[in-house]
Amino acid sequence: MSRLYNFELKDIDLNPVHLNQYKGKTLLIVNVASKCGYTPQYADLQSLYNKYNHRGLEILAFPCNQFGNQEPGTRQDIKSFCDLNFNVTFKIFDKVDVNGSNASPVFDFLKKQSPGIMGSEAIKWNFTKFVIDKSGKSIKRFAPKDGKTKIESYLSDIL
């Protein structure tokens, strides 16, 4: 069993979420921000969720303010922004750090399993995406610029 399923996190409403509830699902885990040039990708993520959730896809979004102060709002600000602008129905978590000594253990785990270009583990910007297979293994890392078309072509083959 993957260590990923051992993590317990807080969602945007501070409710505990045990990742073991996602066993047997394909996950797309993304660090997100409301004031980023890639923020329109929320619409793409919602579209992917709408299209593939019935086939076992879950999207887990983690707001992060480590890149250019692009997620400065409170939990309520973030939740309202996602609801009003993108009608987000996938799971949004409490704000996290993805790099450094205060990084979420989930992102430390993901970065080790799926390093970036030239083996770098650091996440370079908002909207870095990790695909997790049904056994809980991180099998693909997408760059922030990688959009819906590239992600969907990959997901449609593994779902």
Task: Tell me how far apart the alpha carbons of residues 41 and 46 are, in angstroms, rounded to a whole number.
Answer: 8
- Supply the residues annotated as catalytic: 36
pLDDT at 145: 96
pLDDT, residue 18, reads: 97
Q: If you ran DSSP here, which 8-state letter would residue 123 be given?
A: -
pLDDT of residue 116: 73
The whole domain housing 108 covers 3-158
- Residue spans of the chain under pLDDT 70: 1, 118
The reported pLDDT for the residue numbered 114 is: 84
Q: What is the CATH number of the domain that holds 93?
A: 3.40.30.10
Q: Give the model confidence (pLDDT) of 7-37 as tens digits.
A: 999 999 999 999 999 999 999 999 999 999 9
**Non-local CB neighbours of 87 within 8 Å, separated by 6+ positions:** 46
Distance, in Å, from the CA atom of 107 to the CA atom of 115, rounded to the nearest integer, reads 11
- At 92 the pLDDT is 98
Residue 80: per-residue pLDDT: 96
Cα distances (angstroms) measured from residue 108 to each of 35, 51, 75, 104, 112: 24, 29, 22, 6, 6
Residue 134 confidence (pLDDT): 93
Tally the domains of the chain: 1
CA distance 80 to 83: 5
